[in-house]
């Protein structure tokens, strides 16, 4: 049962004859912002009145007289210019609580039509370390998949690994030139990461060498502009003077940024040049960028040695990421990486050519798309295929294999243009009956407002991040246990075990509670806070409910089936009951635009807050009568179950004690 959907269904037959398009009117039935105005509010009368030539209040009264709501609501009230205020009947709320409480799905119905979704998420480029950006895709994608499945959809997760790109050219080149055979034999993974870092370091060095004069030239240019402006003197006209000042400020800040970039670039260069060993190595591998590219090309052309090395390295790379997935408790139905599509690429390009959808341009094969300045290149002039070609082949494969209704790509916003073009090309290709959606997300920032990095300047590795969150969670868990009303009950081993759950949860929830399209500032303290919109607070709330049962020696499973009922007496009970019943609405909101933060908002703003008011104002274990006590225990239990189910859909576990 979904209250909002139910109300809309009741109003629909009344509104339908008055309009060509009833959906936007039904959308104007919403939860009331203020309990003063009831539980839900309908605001369509004002807009509709003009069209039907009546006063909004009269129209509202007419609609209220016609709509069938008796079983569900008190008599609706027409307020102000024509708002319709709806208040749910307590008896109806109680009935709904009864059925929610007896239902493992907590009263949430499955979607009317089950659809097939492919959710493409995580998808890191293997052979390089996973970093904090990957956590966003992984946890957002996992939450979306879980929610789709819970709503009865067929959600197929596919980890589209980058397992065929230049990074393999890098480790192949590195292996051929820098590998320590004994070290590799003893422990291949650390040796492969070392090799990757060596090659990365050399490539960065040459990039920095190339970049430095460009930055310096830019700085010189800005400096000249700045000096010229100063030399011109301050204009007499006030407005002009203001404009000049603003321009000087703009130039100055550009110069500051450039100076910082130059210093960082010089530091990178110095790191190599200050070490005789590193300098000599750089001298010996001066054409490394080209050489790495050649190794990649050879791999793609099926060169025996490179292919054998790739086959040897890939499982190690996969093991690396598997460890992270295990800790995050994320699984995939499929893990079909880019390499899987290699043999299909030539055919895809041929198809585009045959259908007249692709043209030759400067030697490259291009798909020209309306509304885009640059075409989408699907084959380079040297014959190489691209990321786009692979993505086209992937769509074709997915259509053939699963016939999905939708494909969701949970990927960084920087790939927005890639997906816009990909989707446009896919439509041209003839797949027009499918929802293609880039579920885009922003950057994780550090305290300095720049992309999150460690002190050494490397982007933060995912495992280090998890370790840190868990070790900080240990302190939170220990403090909470020490302060527990029944006194500390956890030994160190148990605390450690709980910390793993709490630490990982904090990280996930910290991410999921953000508007996915915004950048957000990463902060361990914020995400592990015991107060506020955090996993820690939610897990604590859940554990507190369990502790009520323990302290009251309540066997909640028995009480659930004892015939005891939830009876609403206090306003705080009523508020909490409605919050519990609105779980289903929150899930609809999540899936409307694939935004898990609608679920975290619901859990915090509605469920947890109403629970906390209820807990302050209503005695549970010391209730006035045994009936009242049982009713309140059941309401606590239902709250905890919704909390647990909600967190589960976010990929977060609860703990019984903390």
Q: Quick one: 423 or 602, whose CB is closer to ligand ARG?
A: 423
Site string for ligand ARG, 135-164 (x = CB under 6 A): -------------------------x-x--
- CA atoms in the 13 A half-sphere facing the CB of 598: 16
> Are 424 and 391 within 8 A, CB to CB?
no
Say how far apart CA 225 and CA 64 lie, in whole Å.
69
> Are 509 and 535 within 8 A, CB to CB?
yes
Please, which residues bridge with residue 79 across strands? 83
Q: Quick one: 82 or 124, whose CB is closer to ligand ARG?
A: 124
Stretch that binds ligand ARG, among 123-131, 300-308, 449-457, 618-626 (CB under 6 A): 123-131
Minimum Å gap between C-beta 120 and ligand ARG is 5
Considering only 124, 129, 404, 646, the residue that binds ligand ARG (CB under 6 A) is: 124
Considering only 411, 436, 506, 554, the residue that binds ligand ARG (CB under 6 A) is: 411
Evaluated on CA atoms 219, 222, 227, 230, the torsion sign reads negative
Q: Quick one: 124 or 169, whose CB is closer to ligand ARG?
A: 124
Contact status: 388 vs ligand ARG (CB under 6 A): no
DSSP label of 566: -
Which helix (DSSP H) or strand (DSSP E) does residue 294 occupy? helix 288-300
Listed residue (287, 297, 286, 283) closest to 169, CA to CA: 297
Say how far apart CA 498 and CA 655 lie, in whole Å.
7
Minimum Å gap between C-beta 242 and ligand ARG is 44
Total residues contacting ligand ARG (rule CB under 6 A)? 10
Say how far apart CA 349 and CA 271 lie, in whole Å.
44
Minimum Å gap between C-beta 424 and ligand ARG is 15
Say how far apart CA 84 and CA 442 lie, in whole Å.
39
Q: What are phi and psi of 302, to 5 degrees?
A: 90, 20
Minimum Å gap between C-beta 442 and ligand ARG is 15
Minimum Å gap between C-beta 190 and ligand ARG is 22
Q: Quick one: 128 or 595, whose CB is closer to ligand ARG?
A: 128
Minimum Å gap between C-beta 204 and ligand ARG is 19
Say how far apart CA 394 and CA 634 lie, in whole Å.
49
Task: Return left, alpha or beta for 403; rule: phi > 0 is left, psi -120 to 50 is alpha, else beta.
Answer: left
Stretch that binds ligand ARG, among 116-124, 233-241, 304-312, 528-536 (CB under 6 A): 116-124
Q: Quick one: 340 or 614, whose CB is closer to ligand ARG?
A: 340
DSSP label of 433: S
655: helix, coil or strand?
A: coil
Considering only 2, 3, 25, 120, the residue that binds ligand ARG (CB under 6 A) is: 120
Minimum Å gap between C-beta 426 and ligand ARG is 12
**Vertex 277 angle, CA 275 and 281, to 5°:** 115
Residues numbered 273 to 292 that lie near ligand ARG (CB under 6 A) are: none
> Are 306 and 295 within 8 A, CB to CB?
yes
Task: Tell me the CA distances in angstroms from 419 to 340, 407, 415, 440, 592, one per residue in order.
Answer: 20, 12, 6, 10, 20
Q: Quick one: 340 or 598, whose CB is closer to ligand ARG?
A: 340
Q: Quick one: 426 or 534, whose CB is closer to ligand ARG?
A: 426
Give the CB-nearest residue to ligand ARG.
162
Minimum Å gap between C-beta 429 and ligand ARG is 16
Q: What are phi and psi of 379, to 5 degrees?
A: -150, 130
Characterize the bridge pairing of strands 364-367 and 358-361: antiparallel
Stretch that binds ligand ARG, among 122-130, 295-303, 504-512, 594-602 (CB under 6 A): 122-130
> Cβ atoms within 10 A of the Cβ of 603, count?
28
565: helix, coil or strand?
A: coil
Minimum Å gap between C-beta 476 and ligand ARG is 32
Considering only 123, 426, 501, 631, the residue that binds ligand ARG (CB under 6 A) is: 123
Minimum Å gap between C-beta 338 and ligand ARG is 7
In angstroms, how far apart are the furthest CA atoms of the chain?
89
Listed residue (78, 76, 77, 24) closest to 55, CA to CA: 78
DSSP label of 606: I
Site string for ligand ARG, 38-77 (x = CB under 6 A): ----------------------------------------
Minimum Å gap between C-beta 124 and ligand ARG is 5
Residues 6+ apart with CB under 8 A from 424: 369, 370, 371, 372, 376
Q: Quick one: 3 or 407, whose CB is closer to ligand ARG?
A: 407
Characterize the bridge pairing of strands 116-120 and 406-412: parallel
Minimum Å gap between C-beta 407 and ligand ARG is 9
Stretch that binds ligand ARG, among 120-128, 283-291, 366-374, 459-467 (CB under 6 A): 120-128
Q: Quick one: 97 or 161, whose CB is closer to ligand ARG?
A: 161
Say how far apart CA 194 and CA 539 lie, in whole Å.
39
Stretch that binds ligand ARG, among 90-98, 119-127, 362-370, 551-559 (CB under 6 A): 119-127
Site string for ligand ARG, 298-337 (x = CB under 6 A): ----------------------------------------
Residues numbered 501 to 530 that lie near ligand ARG (CB under 6 A) are: none
Residues numbered 162 to 181 that lie near ligand ARG (CB under 6 A) are: 162
Say how far apart CA 406 and CA 193 lie, in whole Å.
37
DSSP label of 74: S
Minimum Å gap between C-beta 197 and ligand ARG is 18
Minimum Å gap between C-beta 326 and ligand ARG is 20
Minimum Å gap between C-beta 651 and ligand ARG is 19
Site string for ligand ARG, 390-409 (x = CB under 6 A): -x--x--------------x
Q: Quick one: 344 or 570, whose CB is closer to ligand ARG?
A: 344
Please, which residues bridge with residue 441 across strands? 412
Stretch that binds ligand ARG, among 121-129, 248-256, 440-448, 613-621 (CB under 6 A): 121-129
> Are 646 and 652 within 8 A, CB to CB?
no
Say how far apart CA 510 and CA 524 lie, in whole Å.
9
Q: Interface with ligand ARG by CB under 6 A: which residues?
A: 120, 123-125, 160, 162, 391, 394, 409, 411
């Amino acid at each position: 049962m979904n209250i909002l959907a139910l109300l809309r269904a009741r109003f629909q037959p009344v509104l339908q004859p008055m309009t060509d398009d009833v959906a936007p009117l039904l959308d104007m039935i919403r939860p009331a912002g203020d309990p003063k105005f009831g539980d839900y509010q309908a605001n369509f009368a004002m807009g509709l009145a003009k069209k039907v030539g009546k006063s909004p209040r009269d129209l509202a009264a007419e609609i209220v007289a016609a709509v069938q709501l008796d079983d569900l609501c008190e008599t609706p009230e027409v307020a102000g210019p024509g708002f319709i205020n709806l208040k749910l009947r307590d008896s109806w709320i109680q009935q709904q609580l009864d059925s929610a409480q007896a239902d493992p799905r907590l009263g949430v119905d499955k979607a009317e039509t089950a659809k097939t979704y492919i959710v493409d998420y995580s998808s890191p480029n293997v052979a390089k370390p996973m970093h904090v950006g990957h956590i966003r895709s992984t946890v957002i994608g996992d939450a979306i998949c879980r929610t789709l499945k819970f709503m009865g959809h067929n959600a197929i997760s596919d980890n589209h690994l980058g397992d065929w790109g230049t990074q393999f050219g890098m480790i192949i080149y590195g292996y051929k030139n820098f590998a320590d055979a004994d070290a590799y034999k003893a422990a291949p993974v650390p040796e492969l990461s070392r090799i990757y870092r060596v090659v990365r370091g050399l490539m960065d060095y040459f990039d920095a060498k190339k970049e430095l004069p460009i930055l310096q030239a830019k700085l010189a240019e800005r400096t000249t502009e700045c000096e010229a402006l100063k030399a011109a003197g301050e204009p007499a006209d006030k407005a002009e003077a203001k404009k000049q000042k603003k321009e000087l400020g703009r130039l100055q800040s550009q110069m500051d940024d450039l100076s910082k970039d130059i210093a960082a670039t010089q530091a990178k260069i110095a790191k190599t040049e200050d070490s005789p060993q590193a300098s000599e190595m750089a001298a010996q591998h001066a054409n490394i960028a080209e050489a790495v590219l050649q190794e990649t090309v050879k791999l793609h052309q099926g060169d025996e040695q490179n292919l054998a090395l790739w086959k040897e390295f890939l499982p190690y790379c996969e093991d690396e990421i598997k460890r992270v997935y295990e800790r995050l408790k994320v699984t995939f139905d499929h893990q079909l990486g880019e390499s899987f599509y290699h043999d299909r690429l030539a055919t895809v390009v041929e198809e585009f050519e045959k259908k007249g959808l692709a043209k030759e341009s400067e030697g490259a094969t291009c798909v020209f798309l309306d509304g885009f300045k640059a075409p989408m290149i699907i084959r380079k002039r040297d014959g190489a295929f691209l990321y786009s070609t692979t993505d086209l082949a992937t769509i074709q494969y997915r259509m053939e294999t699963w016939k999905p209704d939708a494909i969701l790509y949970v990927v960084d916003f920087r790939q927005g243009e890639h997906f816009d073009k990909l989707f446009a090309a896919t439509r041209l290709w003839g797949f027009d009956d499918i929802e293609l959606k880039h579920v885009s997300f922003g950057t994780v920032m550090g305290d300095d407002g720049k992309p999150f990095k460690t002190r050494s300047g490397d982007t933060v590795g995912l495992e280090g991040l998890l370790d840190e969150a868990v070790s900080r969670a240990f302190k939170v868990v220990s403090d909470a246990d020490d302060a527990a009303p029944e006194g500390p009950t956890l030994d160190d081993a148990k605390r450690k075990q709980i910390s793993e759950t709490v630490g990982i949860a904090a990280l996930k929830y910290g991410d999921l509670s953000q508007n996915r399209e915004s950048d957000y500032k990463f902060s361990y303290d914020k995400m592990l806070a015991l107060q506020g919109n955090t996993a820690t607070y939610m897990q604590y709330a859940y554990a507190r409910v369990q502790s009520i049962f323990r302290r009251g020696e309540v066997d909640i499973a028995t009480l659930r089936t004892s015939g005891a009922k939830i009876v609403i007496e206090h306003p705080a009970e009523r508020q909490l009951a409605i919050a519990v019943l609105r779980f289903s609405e929150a899930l609809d909101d999540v899936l409307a635009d694939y935004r898990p933060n609608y679920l975290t908002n619901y859990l915090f703003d509605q469920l947890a807050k109403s629970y906390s008011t209820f807990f302050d104002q209503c005695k549970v274990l010391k209730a006035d009568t045994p009936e009242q006590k049982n009713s309140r225990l059941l309401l606590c239990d239902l709250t905890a179950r919704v909390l647990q189910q909600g967190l589960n859909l976010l990929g977060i576990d609860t703990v019984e004690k903390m």
